[in-house]
Amino acid sequence: MDSRRDFLQKLAASAVTLPFLPITASAARNAFYGQSCQGPVLRVAIMGLGSYGTRVAKAMQSCKRAKLTGLISGTPSKIKDWQAKYNIPEKNCYNYENYDQIKDNPDIDAVYVITPNALHREGVLRVAAAGKHAICEKPMSVNARQGQEMVDACRKAGVKLLVGYRMHFEPNTLEIVRMRNEGEFGKVLFFQGLSGFRIGDPKQWRLNRELAGGGAMMDIGIYSVNGARYMTGEEPEWVTAQETKTDPVKFREGVDETIQFQMGFPSGAVASCLSTYNMNNLDRFFLNGEKGYAELQPATGYGPIKGRTNKGELTHPHIAHQTIQMDEMAGIILENKKPVIPVNGEEAVKDLVIIDAIYEACRTGKRQALSL
């Protein structure tokens, strides 16, 4: 068994000496993963083996173009469990002190950073310094300034920075974007985004300002911020916002409970959105145009996403969002594919600029001008 494993590892290593491989080398490389597919496979290490990292790893088992090949965690027991489950060799496992050593590991092309928000910046900067592509969970950082630092570092290192906007690849969402682009709704007039749920354990990191960078807006409200942009196809020119807090014990200073926010777009379209950690059953997008409408409900959950337009129900079958996301990101990284809706770091900085402005609007009570 050991000799067979060694042979396969050597076979895989010999197949990755060039960034763009001929078909014969790709076939050898894919054989290492027990997967038959066209083109090279993106080899990914996951940093942060928590609940969402677990979801991503499970979904990646169905990927054709991306495979889990490395682990980064501060919890040795998690690494052992994941090694056994996903057949990850010891040499591809790291902790938060030594993962800079991935620079010398040809089994890893990219690292998916799935740590608390405030740790994203350091993770991406170190991954870039190691010469590996970075995939970062959203929000990309806790403010736009840090986000831009991450974009600049990856550009300087010559690596790609992508962000985990899984909805940008979701089929029903993309069908609405297609219909809008082709003018089927006419002039867009209005968008509504409702994003919220009642959060549980008050001791979790999402309610810790130092780790989360805020509250509901950073976790769930960002879906409506981002959704307003890709559903209307425009960048907002201004934002206003109002914060409501009913439980200051659970939602301490700097941790937002509920924020209502409004945005205006160059065409005259407006958006009205809600972000909350204190109400359930809020996962809905609605787009209204002069000729028709589109609705998604649920709009951003793990699926299945359900939707309809003035022309009828949306019927695309459900596939795990993270499976589609990681296969599509493999194409972006390895073949420079261009997604319909961007998922790069620059896209994420725009969301952070808007979120910064939403917090400032809450603080001052004044409309904030935007230039994206």
Tens-place pLDDT, residues 72-100: 999 999 999 999 999 999 999 999 999 99
> Which strand (E) or helix (H) includes residue 193?
strand 188-196
Q: What is the rounded distance in angstroms from the CA atom of residue 329 to the CA atom of residue 335?
A: 10
Residue 130 lies in a domain: yes
Just list the catalytic residues.
138, 223
Single-letter code of the amino acid located at 285:
F
pLDDT tens for 127-162 read 999 999 999 999 999 999 999 999 999 999 999 999
209's tokens? 């300002």
Say how many domains are in the chain. Answer: 2
User: Quick one: 215 and 300 in the same domain?
Assistant: yes
CATH of the domain at 200: 3.30.360.10
Torsion sign, CA atoms 357, 359, 361, 364: negative
Question: What ranges make up the beta strands (E) of 197-316?
Answer: 238-244, 258-264, 270-276, 282-289, 293-296, 307-309, 312-314
**Under the phi-then-psi rule, with left for phi > 0, alpha for psi from -120 to 50, and beta for the rest, what region is 238?**
beta
Residue 18 forms part of a structural domain:
no
Domain containing 134 equals 41-163
Share of the chain above pLDDT 90, in %: 90
pLDDT at 269: 98
- Mean pLDDT within 188-202: 98
Say if CB 273 and CB 224 are below 8 A apart. yes
Distances in Å between the Cα of 322 and the Cα atoms of 34, 43, 142, 335, 358 are 20, 15, 23, 19, 29
| Residue 49 and residue 82 in contact, taking contact as beta carbons nearer than 8 Å | yes
Looking at the structure, tell me whether residues 126 and 222 fall in a common domain: no
User: What are the φ and ψ backbone dihedral angles of 322, each rounded to 5 degrees?
Assistant: -70, -25
Domain boundary among 163, 193, 219: 163
Q: Is the pLDDT of residue 206 over 90?
A: yes
Q: What is the mean pLDDT of residues 8-18?
A: 35
Over 80: is that where the pLDDT of 23 sits?
no
Give the CATH number of the domain where residue 125 resides.
3.40.50.720
- Looking only at the bridges linking them, the beta strands covering 161-163 and 110-113 are unpaired
pLDDT value of position 37: 58
The model's confidence at residue 50, banded by pLDDT at 50, 70 and 90, is very high
What average pLDDT is seen over the chain?
A: 92
- The answer to the question of residue 228 being in a domain is yes
- Count the residues in the chain: 372
One domain for residues 74 and 140: yes
**pLDDT value at residue 39:** 76
Stretch 34-45: mean pLDDT: 76
Does residue 32 have a pLDDT over 50?
Answer: no
The last residue of one of the domains, among 125, 148, 163, is: 163
Q: 310: which residues sit within 8 A by CB, 6+ positions away?
A: 185, 291, 292, 293, 294
What is the DSSP secondary-structure string of 69-97?
EEEE-S-HHHHHHHHHHHT--GGGEE-TT
Does one domain contain both 156 and 172?
Answer: no
Closest by alpha carbon to 360, among 251, 240, 185, 267?
Answer: 240
Query: Whole-angstrom Cα distance, residue 369 to residue 261?
Result: 13
pTM: 0.90
DSSP 167-184: GGG-HHHHHHHHHHHTTT
When pLDDT is averaged across residues 168-191 and rounded to a whole number, the result is 98
Q: Helical H runs in the chain?
A: 2-14, 23-32, 51-60, 76-86, 120-129, 144-157, 171-181, 209-212, 216, 222-232, 321-335, 345-364
Q: How far apart are CA 136 and CA 47, in angstroms?
A: 10
Residue showing tokens 């996962």: 283
Dihedral pair phi/psi, residue 219, rounded to 5°: -95, -50
